[in-house]
Homo-oligomer: A and B are copies of this chain.
Amino acid sequence: MHTAMLTAAPTASRAAAPRPSAPGAQVNASLHLLSDAVAMQRRLVHAGDRLFESGQDFDCLHILHAGFFKTVNTAADGREQVVGLHFKGDWMGFDGIAHGRYGCDAIAMDTGEVWSVRYDALLAASSGRRELLGLLHEAMSREISRDRDSLLSLGTLPADARVADFLRYWADALDQRGLRADQITLRMTRAEIGNYLGMTLESVSRALSRLARCEVIRFIGKGRRELNIPDLEALSRFIQAAMAPQPRVLQ
């Protein structure tokens, strides 16, 4: 009866346009371009490992080849804030360039693999090879854009919408890497998510429960860490609805 075909393809929700190559291939291409040009040190990490810490001398940039990281910023008075989430292909350590010391902690949330490159070696290797420099600058530029999107979310969205926006961001990150974007395995506690979003763990829990009640998300398994997003558009609609809860009866 209904147009089943249109709703039947959950993974191909956004881009109907044909991609230039297999999704996520750019990430691998970039990694190989890099590792061909300059010596990189590979390192396996496990959940909880710290790749670097705030205050530590800066010498390397790090590229995530597999796994999942968070970066945590700490104030002088001890306040801590998760300021970034990092997936495959993301770079880490940019904040060390300016001051010669890393400015935050990078903590693995899962087993993974990191390729590290000395900053001076990278500079040396990229002189004359514009495409290497392009990779670096693109990564830094993307980081800046991403941080500003976080600021926008923190500054303008109420709690429920912030959680929904967080899930949308995660799904986008998966999609851009060619992974299925409708299945998310949160590798963070509610407290970590709350810290990242500037709210308490209880508010995160309530927001997720509401999202599930509205059937915008579905929990999978009993850990409540794994969830399914049937329709990304519905997520966006939920954000809009959470922003303007006034039905505006008059006028």
Question: Is B123 within 8 A of A73, CB to CB?
Answer: no
**In the complex the two chains form, is A148's CB within 8 Å of B73's CB?**
yes
Query: Which of A38-46, A96-104, A225-233 touches B?
Result: A96-104
- Point out the residue from B96, B103, B156 that lies within 8 Å of A148, measured CB to CB: B103
Residues of chain B within 8 A (CB-CB) of A157 are: 79
Q: Considering the complex, which residues of chain A in the window 106-152 have a beta carbon less than 8 Å from any beta carbon of chain B?
A: 123, 127-128, 130, 133, 137-145, 147-152
- A24 interface residue, CB < 8 Å from B? no
A11 at the interface (CB under 8 A from B): yes
- B100 and A151: CB pair below 8 A? no
B127 and A195 form a contact (CB under 8 A): no
User: A155 to chain B: which residues have CB within 8 Å?
Assistant: 81, 154, 195-198
Contacts of A240 in B (CB 8 A): 77
This chain: how many copies in the complex?
Answer: 2
A73 pairs with B151, CB closer than 8 A: yes
Given A138-B98, A140-B94, A150-B151, A103 contacting B145 (CB threshold 8 A): yes
> Would you call A234 an interface residue if the criterion is a C-beta within 8 Å of the partner chain's C-beta atoms?
no
A73-B149, A149-B73, A152-B75 known; A144 vs B95 contact (CB < 8 Å): yes
A128 vs chain B, min Cβ distance (A): 6
Question: Is A10 part of the contact surface with B, judged by Cβ < 8 Å?
Answer: yes
Within 8 A of B (CB), among A151-207: 151-152, 154-157, 195-198
State how many angstroms separate the Cβ of A211 from the closest Cβ of chain B: 18
Give the complex CA separation of A240 and B79 in angstroms.
Answer: 11
A-B pairs with beta carbons under 8 Å apart, 21 shown: A73-B152, A75-B156, A77-B239, A79-B156, A81-B151, A81-B156, A84-B148, A94-B141, A97-B137, A98-B138, A99-B141, A127-B128, A137-B140, A140-B144, A144-B144, A144-B147, A151-B151, A151-B154, A154-B198, A155-B197, A155-B198
